[in-house]
Amino acid sequence: MTTFLYDLSTTGAISFSDFINDPDNSFTRRLSEITQLRSRLRGFLKESKRTDGEKDYLTIIKIIDDYLPHLQGVINCVNDHELELKFEPVFSWRTTLSANFLNNSPRMTLQSLHAEHASSLLTYAFAHSNLARAIVANLGPYEHDRAISQAEREAKEEQLKHATSHLSRASGIFTYLSETVLSELQQSASVTKFKLPPDLLPEVNTALSRMTLADAQTLAIRKLLSKSFYDCNIAPGPPLPKSHPAPGLIAKLHLECVSLYSTARTLAKTPSASSKSSEDVSPELRHYLADETSLNSALAKKWLGIDAGENGGQKRGGEAVGFLIWAKKELQDIKDGGKGAALAKGEKEKRDRNLRKEKVAIELETIDSWLKHYKKVNDTIHFQPVPSQAELQSRIPTGVSAVFSIPYVPQKPAFGPGSEARIQKEQATLDQGDSMSGSSTYAGAGEYY
């Protein structure tokens, strides 16, 4: 499957010198630079609405990489009164996750530098996630290509690893937003009287962090299975090729995805004091989470069944049949009517829906092959009773993580307090002071007995 596609925000024009006073004229050039950087970001975001490729997302990431240190410099200078606000600035961004009657993105205006910081970081995370999606889309179903060489397959796997890394980075950015930036925004006096959109709610960003991490884990599972899928392309089904990873491990990896997706869905539906209702989050996102939860739940049961059949011996013959019957039922439910069936807004969404249907159809065919095999073995050799669904539920293990969020570490400000130039200047001042007092410096200086 592919990952969730975000419609990147667009933003209105603004000039920092319009609302910032520079008392000593120390930051004239810096204010001009940050206005130019933001203008470039605004222009490219507007242009990117008509494109969808790796180069576009890479460019957006690079522009925001350049912009954020300058924005942090302004925030630090205002906090330390080196720069003054003439009035509270108003930044406008179109929301990405808001449900809307007309199915378009409403424009959001907030009076706070922290809101600008949060919106820029949010777009940064979206771009990383969309870049991962674009990379995966370019790979195609390479593991099912019988003509692919080992070198070509390994190169594709490296790209898959690269996409997983971008999703892990996006997860870390969402976490940083939720735990740090959005708490600062909510405490800002200029926004306390406004209701924040879902895009800027801590619980929603926590949901996005978990969803993106689950997306990364699904790519890790695909990479882990790619060699064995290639080896069994001619006749999918029993027996497993020697290159196949332990089916019990694959089941636990899918179970961790279930936990992440389901928790994310709950958080995305949780009402907040800052939000009008749980319906503020777009149905498209919530249905994506529901569908991925269901799909990974079914795949986990498939691999639990195969693990019981391949490694459980006679005693687990009935368990193998039971888990596969359960997996088949859940996949059939998805095929007959997934949550996202009526949500396709455009060609990309329709393509995603078709990809899901194709994957479910392939999985059903594979499960039928395994189920037929294990049922025959159990009916003729093992003679084990098939456990009830409640019994099987008690035997489902805890999930296992294969990937983790990459913590977001902010760059140093481009200027002002905390910047590299300011740190070096302060250190030089300290060093000069130490050298001037060097004649009276001795071991234990400053200590009196």
pLDDT tens readout for residues 94-150: 888 876 544 566 788 888 899 999 999 999 999 999 999 999 999 988 888 888 898
Residues lower than pLDDT 50 in the chain? 101-102, 274, 276-279, 340-343, 439-449
pTM: 0.90
Q: What is the 3-state secondary structure (H, E, C) of the chain?
A: CCCCCCCCCCECCCCHHHHEECCCCCCHHHHHHHHHHHHHHHHHHHHHCCCCCHHHHHHHHHHHHHHHHHHHHHHHHHHCCCCEECCCCCEEEECCCECCCCCCCCEEEECCHHHHHHHHHHHHHHHHHHHHHHHHHHHCCHHHCCCCCHHHHHHHHHHHHHHHHHHHHHHHHHHHHHHHHHHHHHHCCCCCCCCCCHHHCHHHHHHHHHHHHHHHHHHHHHHHHHHHHHHCCCCCCCCCCCCCCCHHHHHHHHHHHHHHHHHHHHHHHCCCCCCCCHHHECHHHHHHHHHHHHHHHHHHHHHHHHHHHHHCCHHHHHHHHHHHHHHHHHHHHHHHHCCCCCCCCCHHHHHHHHHHHHHHHHHHHHHHHHHHHHHHHHHHHHCCCCCCHHHHHHCCCCCCCCCCCCCCCCCCCCCCCCCHHHHHHHHHHHHHHHHHCHHHCCCCCCCCC
pLDDT tens readout for residues 56-71: 999 999 999 999 999 9
